[in-house]
Structure 1
Amino acid sequence: MAGLGDAGTCSDSYNTAFVSRVRDPDGSPRYPRALQWLRERQHPDGSWGGRIALPADRLTSTLAAVRALVDYAETTPPGPYDWVAGALRRGTDHLKSLAREWRAGPHEPIGFEFVVPELTRRLRAHGVDLPPQAWPDIHALRRDKLARMAAASAGSPSPSLSPSLRYCMEVAPDEAFVGAAPTLQSPGGSVGCSPAATAALWQSTGDARALAYLDHLAHRSRDGGAPEVHPVEAFETGWSLYHLGRAGLLPPGGAQHLDALAGELDRRGWVGFSREFPAPEADTTAMTINLLSHLGVDAASRLGLLLRYEADDHFFHYPGERGASVSVNARLLEAFNHAPGTYGPQRRKIVRFLLESRAADGSWLDKWHMSPYYATAHVCFALGRSASAEGHGSHEDRVGCGGHEGLLTRTHEWLLDTQHPNGSWGAGGGQPEETAYAILALDALAGSDLPLPARTSHLAHRYLVPYLDAGPDAFAELWLGKSLYTPTAVVQSAVIAAAHLTRPRLTTPWARGD
C-alpha cells in the first residue's frame, strides 16, 4: 500500500525511442541509457515492441525506434554508436515485411491512425527506403478518427484538444507546440502524461518544465527505458484496490487511497487515469464508483455522473473514440447494478452491447488489453455474482444484473477448457496475468451455479504462487497504449487476488485467517 500510485508502467520501445532522441548541447544523448535500452531490446527479426508479438505494436514501436536511430546515424561518428547502422538496417528490413502483416490481429495501439502515417512520412523525408504503398488503409482510419473527433466537439461551448491528440502530440507538426505549451502541459510538465509527447515538446520549444519531467523519469527508471505513461496514479490505485477487494484482501492501508479517489470524484464529477490528464473519462470514474462501498459510501447517489458517457447503443470511454470498449461498458454496468430497479434502460443497453460483442466461444476482447481473459473477467464481474440483483426489477433487468438464465454458461465452459496443463491460461504457454483474470472470472461466476472445480483451482494456485514475489520483468506486456506495456502494480494485485482465491482452504494457517 505504501507505494501504490507510484509503481507506474514498465518501459516500452515507443516512448523510449522518443526520449532517446533528446540531446545535450554538445550533441551527446542526454539519456544514454535509453539508447542502450533500444540496442538491447531489438528482437532477432529486427523489430521492437512487446514480448508477445502484435503486428500493429511491432509496427509503431519499430517506426519510432528506426526514427530515433536515424538521428544518430546521420549526426554521430562511429565509436560508441557503431552498432546503430546494423540495428537501423535490420529495423528497416522488418518494416518492409510489415507492409501487409500489420492487419493481423484484432488490436491497435492508441493513436495508431495518427502515429503510423506521420512517422512513415518523417522516415521517408530522411531517405529511409519504405514500400511506396505501405499501410494505405491506415489513412482511411485517420480520416475516420478525425471525423469522429469533429462530430464529438461540434457545438461544444468550450472545445478543447481531443484526448487522443493530446496523448499523441509527438506526431504533431513542430508549429503545433509554438506558444501552446501553457495549454498543453500538465502541472507536472508533461504533455498528456506521455514521455514521447513531452520529449517532442522539449525538442520543439526547449521548455524547461518538459525537460525536468523527462529528467525525473530518467532518474526513476529501473532499466533506462521510458514508460508508456506517467503519472498514472488513479488507474493504478483503482484497479489494484479493486482486484484485492474482490478477494477480500483490501487492507486498512487502502483507505487513504480510496479517500483520494472519492475526493477526486466529488470535486470534479469524474476521475481520470491521472490528475495530470485533464479529460473526463468513463472508465476510472466508474471504477471509483464501484469502490465506494469499501468506504461505506452510497454508490447509487453518484451514478448520474455516468450518463454523460451514454451513446445510442453503448457507453463511450472518451468522446470521439473509434471503437467502443467492452471492459468500459462492463464496468459501467457493474456500477449501475449498485442501484437495482433503476437505470433499467441503461443496463439493458449495455447488456445488449456486451452480448452482441461476445465471440462464438463465449469470450470477449477489448481495445485496451490484448488478452480475452481481461475483457471476459470484467464482463463476468458485471454479469456474475458480484452484481447480483435477484428479486429486483423486471426479468430483463435481472438478466442484466445477475448473470442467471444460463447467460454465461458458454463463457464458463470456455474458461475451463482453455486452461493449460501447467495450470495457467494465456499466450505463449501461459501468462500469470491472464491466469489471474481467468480465476477472477471463474470466481465471479461461482455464485451462478457455475462452480470453479477444485482441480482447476489447485493447478492455477500452484502456477501462480511463484509469481507472488516476482519483479516487473516477469509479466509480459499485454496492455495497449501507444505500444504494449505493463502496469506493474495492477498486474501484481490481480496475481495476489487470484492466488488467494485458489489457496488450499484447510491446510494453510493464513487461509484460516491466523
Structure 2
Amino acid sequence: MLTATALGWRGAEFAGAERYLRREGVRRQGLWPVLAPVVNFERATAAALFARLGFPLPPGFTALLSASLRSALGAECMAVAPGLPPDADDTATAVFTLNSWDDPVDPRWLVRFSGAESPLVTAHLLGVLTTVARRAGHDSYRDRQVAAVRLLVETQELDGHWDDRTVASPYPPTAAAAMALVRAIASEFSADALLAVSRAIAWLLATQRPGGSWGVWHPTTEETACAVHALCVCVNPSAERSVALALRRSHIFLADCYDAGTADSTRTPLWHYKDLGSPLRIERLYTLTALLMSGSPLR
C-alpha cells in the first residue's frame, strides 16, 4: 500500500518499487500484500530463538545462516524486509545471534535506538549488550546494559508481567524481558533484576490455565510457548517441582493443539499490524521448540 502510494506521488523515480509491485502482482495472481515478505524478520527471529534456547544446529547450517544475517545487516542495520527503514528489534536479534555464534558484530550503532516505549525492544537490546558488555574496553556497553536492566525493572507491572504496545498479550514481552534479565544477571548480578525475574515467574505460574495453557483471552499455542520458554530458561525445572508440573501440563496442551488449523482459537492472532496478525512460521517454530522443551521436565 505504501509502495503504491509513493509511486503515485513520485512516478517513475521509483523504478525499483514499480518492478517490485509488478512482480508481486504476478506472483499472487493480481493480489498485493499489505507488507513485503518479512524475510529478514523471520530469519533473524528464528536464529535468535535457537541461540537463546541453546538448540544445537548443524555447523554448516549455522555458517550459512550467519552469512545470510551478515548480508542482511549491510553496513549497519537490518530492516524487517528489504527496502524498509532500519528496525531496532530485527537488528538486535540478528546481532545477538551473530555474537552468540562467535561471529562478533560491534553494536555501536544500536545506541541510537531507544527501547523506552517497548519492553520487547528493550529486552532484545539488553540481549545484545550481554554479548559485549564483559569484553575489554566496552565499559560504555556495560553502562547501557545497566540502564536497560533498570528500564525493564521500572516498567514491570506490580503483578509481575510486562505489557507492550506491539502485541495484545502480556506473555511475549514478559517472556522476553525475563529471559533477557536472566542473561544480564549472569554477567553482572543485580538484586532488582533477580526480584523482577522471580515476580515474572510467579505471575506465569499463577496465570496458567487449568488445562495447562496460557492465554490472555483463551488458551493459545503461541502464548503457551512463550511461557514455556521463559520457565525453561529462567528456572531449573528439576529443582523446582511447581515449574516442572506446569511444564508437564503445558506439554499435554501443546501436543493436543499442535496440528490445529490457523482458524482455530488456539492460534488466535495477537500482534498489532493494521489488524491483529500472526507471523505463522515463527509462531509454529515457537510452539515446536516449546513442545520439545516441555517434553520431560520431571526427573
Q: 1:237 to 1:471 in 2, by over 3 A?
A: farther
Aligned residues: 289
Which of 224, 235, 248 is 2:41 aligned to? 235
The structure whose Rg is larger is 1
Contact 1:371 1:478 (C-alpha < 8 Å) held by counterparts: yes
Taking the aligned partners of 1:287 and 1:182, their CA distance within structure 2 comes to: 33
> Offset of 1:263 from its aligned partner?
2.7
Quote the Cα distance in structure 2 between the aligned partners of 1:389 and 1:455.
26
Q: 2, 5, 8: which one pairs with 1:177?
A: 8
Alignment of 1:156-195 (within 5 A): 177-180=8-11, 182-183=13-14, 187=16, 189=17
Q: Say yes or no: does 1:358 pair with 2:169.
A: no
Q: Quote how far apart the aligned CAs of 1:407 are.
A: 2.9
1:439 maps to which residue?
228
Larger helix percent: 2
Structure 1 counterpart of 2:256: 466
TM-aligned CA deviation for residue 500 of structure 1: 1.2
Equivalence for 2:65: 257
In structure 2, the residue matched to 1:455 is 245
For residues 326-383 of structure 1, the C-alpha deviation after alignment (integer angstroms, 9 at most, x for no partner) is 1011110111111234323312322232222211211011122111000011101210
Q: 1:327 touches 1:366 (CA, 8 Å); kept in 2? A: yes
Find the counterpart in structure 1 of residue 24 from structure 2.
213
Q: Any gaps of 5 or more consecutive residues in structure 1?
A: 1-17, 19-165, 190-206, 220-224, 310-314, 317-322, 393-397, 508-514
Q: Which amino acid aligns with 1:435?
A: T
- Select which of 186, 190, 197 maps to 1:389: 186
Instruction: State the Cα deviation string for residues 159-200 of structure 1 (Å, max 9, x = none).
Output: xxxxxxx58x75x8xxx82334534x7x4x4xxxxxxxxxxx
State the partner residue of 2:281.
489
The answer on 1:399 being equivalent to 2:198 is no
The answer to whether 1:303 aligns with 2:107 is yes
How much has 1:261 moved relative to structure 2? Answer: 0.7
Aligned to 2:86: 280
The residue aligned with 2:77 is 270
TM-aligned CA distance change 1:182 to 1:389, over 3 Å: farther
> Take 1:483 and 1:242, find their aligned partners in 2: how far apart are those partners?
26
Aligned to 1:8: none
1:347 and 1:495, CA in 2 relative to 1: closer, same or farther beyond 3 A?
A: same
Q: Between the two structures, name the one with larger relative contact order (CA 8 Å, sep ≥ 6).
A: 1
What SS does structure 2 have at the residue aligned with 1:334? helix
Kindly state the Cα deviation for residue 505 of structure 1 after the two structures are TM-superposed: 5.7
User: Percent identical across equivalent pairs?
Assistant: 26
**Distance across 2 between alignment mates of 1:292 and 1:240:** 12
CA contact 2:163–2:169 (8 Å) conserved in 1:
yes
More deviation in 207-216 or 256-265?
207-216
Tell me the alpha carbon deviations over residues 366-407 of structure 1, each in whole angstroms, 9 at most, x when there is no partner.
1221110000111012101x44434x5xxxxx329x943x23
Q: Equivalents in 1 of 2:205, 2:298: separation in Å?
A: 24
- Alpha-carbon distance in 1 for matches of 2:176, 2:120: 6
SS of 2:186's equivalent in the other structure is coil
Q: CA 1:365–1:227 in structure 2 vs 1: closer, same or farther (change >3 Å)?
A: farther
In 1, are the aligned partners of 2:123 and 2:152 still within 8 Å (CA)? yes
Q: CA deviation at 1:476?
A: 1.4
Q: CA deviation at 1:445?
A: 1.6
* Partner in structure 2 of residue 289 of structure 1: 95
1:264-311 alpha-carbon deviations (Å, 9 max, x no partner): 32x32111111232x12211111011101453213xx512121122xx
Whichever residue aligns with residue 173 of structure 2, its letter is A
Shift of 1:484: 1.2
* Residue 447 (structure 1) shift: 5.5
Assess if the C-alpha contact under 8 Å between 1:244 and 1:496 holds in 2.
Answer: no
- Alignment partner of 2:133: what SS? coil
Task: Decide whether the 8 Å contact of 1:233 with 1:274 is kept in 2.
Answer: yes
293 and 367 in structure 1: CA distance in 2 versus 1, 3 angstrom threshold: same
**Could you tell me how far apart the structure 1 residues matched to 2:238 and 2:110 are?**
31
Unpaired runs of 5+ residues, structure 2, are none
The 1:420–1:360 alpha-carbon spacing in structure 2 relative to 1, beyond 3 Å, is: same
CA contact (8 A) 1:247 1:500 kept: no
TM-score of the pair, normalised by structure 1? 0.51
RMSD of aligned residue pairs (Cα, Å): 3.1
Deviation at 1:468, TM superposition (A): 3.7
